[in-house]
């Protein structure tokens, strides 16, 4: 199983809405007791635990797919974790396949590996009136929203570990929606 957490590298973006994927992969790595290390000319960070590979593309969100092809073993289950404005902070959604729904990180991944992968969306909420989408996703959460997103990222990490442990996709989706 290969899990991609999408986000933007660097301290400037740490804790922003767009980095929900990075944060969730880091939670999974902590649960597995592994560290993400820079690889391939610093194009991504990777951790391997048994047959679970965790990837953070360091190519920025909109070019996340740039390194995807070289990180996936043929026949492997692929999961991509991303932020989602159409979900309230603290919510997650899991689905298999589909379009990018306008998410540039997903668009890049689909361009590189096709649509047949599992997506885990972490809710970040919509921008306030007068705030651009770019400004919204590149800002940090309020204290209240941060607590909700922490819970969602932990639930998303647990969903990945359940799938990795062999739990059926439908069961994990049902559990995540409860």
Enzyme catalytic residues: 18
Q: CA-based angle 92:90:171, to the nearest 5?
A: 30
Phi-psi group of 136: left, alpha or beta (phi > 0 → left; psi -120 to 50 → alpha; rest → beta): alpha
β-partners of residue 57 are: 44
Please report where in the chains the tokens 């199983």 appear, as a residue.
Answer: 1
Which residues have CB under 8 Å from 24's CB, separation 6+?
5, 81, 120, 122, 153, 156, 157, 160
Phi, psi (degrees; rounded to nearest 5) at 143: -60, -40
């Amino acid at each position: 199983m290969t899990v991609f957490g999408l986000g933007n590298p660097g301290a400037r973006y740490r804790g922003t809405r767009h980095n929900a994927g990075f944060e969730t992969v880091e939670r999974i790595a902590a649960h597995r007791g592994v560290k993400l290390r820079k690889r391939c000319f610093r194009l991504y960070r990777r951790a391997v635990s048994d047959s679970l590979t965790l990837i953070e593309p360091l190519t920025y969100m909109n070019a996340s797919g740039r390194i995807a092809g070289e990180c996936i073993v043929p026949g492997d289950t692929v999961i991509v974790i991303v932020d989602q404005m159409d979900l309230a902070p603290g919510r997650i959604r899991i689905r298999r396949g589909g379009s990018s729904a306008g998410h540039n990180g997903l668009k890049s991944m689909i361009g590189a590996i096709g649509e047949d992968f599992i997506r885990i969306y972490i809710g970040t909420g919509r921008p306030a009136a007068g705030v651009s989408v770019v400004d919204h996703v590149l800002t940090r959460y309020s204290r209240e929203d941060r607590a909700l997103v922490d819970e969602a990222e932990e639930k998303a990490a647990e969903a990945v570990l359940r799938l990795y442990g062999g739990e059926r996709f439908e069961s994990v989706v049902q559990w995540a929606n409860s």
